[in-house]
Copies of this chain bind each other. A is one copy, B any other.
Amino acid sequence: MKFQVNYADRFNNMEPSAIREILKLANGSDIISFAGGLPAPEVFPKGKISWVSAKVLEEYGQSALQYSNTEGLTALRKQIIGRMETKMGVSGLTLDNIAMVSGSQQGLDFVGKIFCNKGDVVFVEKPTYLAAINTFHSYEARIVEIEMDEDGIIIEDLKKKLAIYPEAKFLYTIPDFQNPTGISMPLYRKIQLMDAVRGTSLMIIEDSPYTELRYEGSRTPTLLSLDDEGRVIYLGTFSKILAPGFRLGWMIADKEIISRVIIAKQAADLQPNTLTQYIASEFLDVTDIEEHIKEIIKVYGHRRDVMLKCLEKYMPKEVSWTHPNGGLFLWITFPTNVDSQELLKECIKHKVAFVPGEPFYANEIEKNHCRVNFSFVDDKRLEEGVRNMALAFKEYLAKTS
Q: Which residues of A pack against B, CB within 8 Å? A: 1-11, 14, 16, 36-39, 41-42, 44, 46, 49-50, 53-54, 57-58, 61-68, 101-103, 105-106, 109, 113-117, 120, 131, 134-135, 138-139, 169, 201, 203, 229-231, 239, 243-247, 254, 256-257, 259-260, 263-264, 266-276, 279
* B65 & A3 in contact (Cβ 8 Å cutoff): no
- Tell me if B260 and A247 are in contact (CB < 8 A): no
Find chain B residues with CB under 8 A from A116 CB: 8
Tallying the copies of this chain within the complex gives: 2
- A266 to B106 Cα, complex, angstroms: 10
How far is it, in angstroms, between the C-alpha of A114 and the C-alpha of B6 when the chains are bound? 9
How many angstroms between the C-alpha atoms of A8 and B50 in the bound complex? 43
Smallest distance from the beta carbon of A47 to chain B beta carbons, Å?
A: 8
Q: Is the CB of B169 within 8 A of A6?
A: yes
A11-B113, A259-B16 known; A267 vs B67 contact (CB < 8 Å): no
Q: Are B138 and A264 in contact (CB under 8 A)?
A: yes
Closest 4 CB pairs of A and B: A245-B274, A41-B62, A46-B61, A65-B243
* A65/B275 contact (C-beta < 8 A), A134-B266, A268-B268, A269-B106 known: no
Contact A7 B114 (CB under 8 A): yes
For A10, what are the chain B residues with a Cβ–Cβ distance below 8 Å? Answer: 113, 117
B245–A16 touching, CB < 8 Å: no
Complex Cα gap A263–B11 (Å): 9
Q: Which residues of B contact A270 (CB under 8 A)?
A: 103, 105, 131, 247
Q: A66-B244, A243-B65, A267-B134 are in contact. Are A7 and B115 (CB under 8 A)?
A: yes
Q: What are the residues of chain B within 8 A of A36 when measuring CB–CB?
A: 67
Q: Which residues of B contact A41 (CB under 8 A)?
A: 62-63, 65-66
Q: Enumerate 11 A-B pairs (CB-CB under 8 Å) in ascending A order.
A: A3-B254, A11-B113, A11-B115, A67-B245, A101-B269, A105-B269, A106-B268, A247-B272, A247-B273, A273-B273, A273-B276
Identity of the chain B residue whose Cβ is nearest the Cβ of A248 in the assembled complex? B273
Q: A42-B62, A267-B109 are in contact. Are A274 and B244 (CB under 8 A)?
A: yes
| Chain B: minimal CB distance from A217 (Å) | 28
- A39 to B274: give the CA distance in the assembly, Å: 14
Assembly CA distance A57 to B10 (angstroms): 40
Contact check: which of B16, B38, B66, B231 meets A243 at CB < 8 Å? B66
CA distance A103 to B273 in the complex (A): 10
Are A275 and B276 in contact, with the CB atoms below 8 A? Answer: yes
Q: Which residues of B contact A271 (CB under 8 A)?
A: 247
Given the complex of chains A and B, what is the CA–CA distance between A4 and B231 in angstroms? 8
What residues of chain B lie closer than 8 Å to A134, measured between beta carbons?
A: 263, 266-267
Smallest distance from the beta carbon of A71 to chain B beta carbons, Å?
A: 12
Distance between Cα atoms of A201 and B3 in the complex (Å): 7
